[in-house]
Amino acid sequence: MTSYIVRRVLLAIPVVLGLFVVTFFLVRLIPGDPCTAMLGERASEEACASFDARYGLDEPIPVQLGVYIQNTLQGDLGQSLQSSRPVTQVMVDRMPLTIELTASALFLAVLIGIPLGLISARRHNSLVDVGTMTFANIGVSMPVFWLGLLLQYLFALILKDTFLALPPSGRLSAGVIPIPFYEVWGWAVNEDTLSGGFLEFLGKLVIPNSIITGNWTVLSDAVRHLILPAIALATIPLAIIARITRSALLEVLSRDYIRTARAKGAMERRVVAKHAFRNAMLPVVTIVGLQLGLLLGGAVLTETVFNLSGVGKTLFEAITARDYAVIQGFVVVIATGYVIINLLVDISYGWLDPRIRYE
């Protein structure tokens, strides 16, 4: 197992380097240029020349690529053309919200999707099966932005005077200010250092931060603001997980060892829980890992509809402004996370199925 993990990590290095190069060139294929996007179409040639020189955009493309790779390997993702802030600082500000939203959406998708798939498989071809799969098909085909607007209309307008009312947008209510755990505990943090930046990043995870500091007001408000966007974002993964779980379990339930277990008089619930479920989880774990990667980078519409300043909205704004450094930085980080998730999924196979051995 150790040799397999080392081999996978080594193979992932050229993949990530390839992503650096591909992202670098794809970003520069976007129509328009950063100077015009930032300074306007009437910007003079002198102003654009000064702008390009300031951010190194006047250098030949191969030189820019070499500088980009060298700086990235040293942990420097560049400087935002919009705000003149380091890209790493932009990530510290924007990624915590997307991580919380992604984790919440995936939690809902797994919590509801897997039981729906199990129920549908156990009651194959029944009304329950048909109803569950109909729900799953609707969930897969439903546009996220449309569902988000419907949820806002229902819970923020129609039900606004009931206990079911929920905030339509934003991360926290006005006047609700989360205090980072390191300030509550009196820690002195230098945000310019690596450890300080990491602590600042953790401090911006509102829900975990409010739990460990015991700030229940912030926790309650943060959860209420996250419910609607999490439901909207979870709908498609939930439907996919339910369908994959049903398909995988039906395939396992048709095998000989399941028929043998039934012939020995084992209860159906025990047959499904002990013999079928674990083996059926291999494709489910795979799809959950893929959905996690997709959710990290695919929350653009959800964050836009619910006015959440996370990775998706930041990428949209960066693409509009031709902010090369921000686009490259976020894409590389998300892609690297994808590689790590796939590695963890592969490792989990050995635990789910003892027959699997990595040479």
Q: Hey, which residues does 86 pair with through a beta bridge?
A: 79
Q: Answer left, alpha or beta for residue 125, where phi above 0 means left and psi between -120 and 50 means alpha.
A: left
Q: What is the pLDDT of residue 1?
A: 61
Q: Which residues of 170-206 are buried (b: 16+ CB within 10 A; e: fewer)?
A: ebbeeebebebbbeeeeeebeeeeeeebebbbbbbbb
Check residue 354 and give its pLDDT. Answer: 62
pLDDT of 224 reads: 92
Residue pointed to by tokens 């569950």: 132
Q: What are phi and psi of 264, to 5 degrees?
A: -80, -5
pLDDT (0 to 100) of residue 297? 63
For the chain (359 residues), the mean pLDDT of every run of 10, in chain order, is 71 79 82 74 77 79 83 80 82 88 90 88 83 82 86 88 86 86 80 70 88 90 92 89 87 77 72 73 82 73 84 82 84 81 75 60
Q: What residues contact residue 262 under an 8 Å CB cut-off, 6+ apart?
A: 268, 271
| Cα gap 164→170, rounded to integer Å | 18
Instruction: Yes or no: say if 210 and 216 are a contact pair by the CB < 8 Å rule.
Output: yes
DSSP state of 131: H
Query: Which residue, among 14, 11, 29, has the nearest Cα to 327 in the 3D structure?
Result: 29
Residues 6+ apart with CB under 8 A from 49: 58
The token duo for 38 is: 């930032």
HEC profile for 294-342? HHHHCCHHHHHHCCCCCHHHHHHHHHHCCCHHHHHHHHHHHHHHHHHHH
CA pair distance 204, 6, nearest whole angstrom: 33
Concatenated DSSP letters of 145-201: HHHHHHHHIIIIIITTTSTT----S-SS-TT-----HHHHTT----TTSHHHHHHHH
Q: Please, are residues 213 and 114 in contact by the beta-carbon 8 Å criterion?
A: no
For 132, residues 6+ apart whose C-beta sits below 8 A from its C-beta are 116, 117, 119, 120, 242, 246
Please give the pLDDT value at position 227.
Answer: 92
pTM, two decimals, is 0.83
Instruction: Tell me what pLDDT residue 221 has.
Output: 92
Counting every residue written for the chain, the total comes to 359
Contact 68/78 with Cβ under 8 angstroms? yes
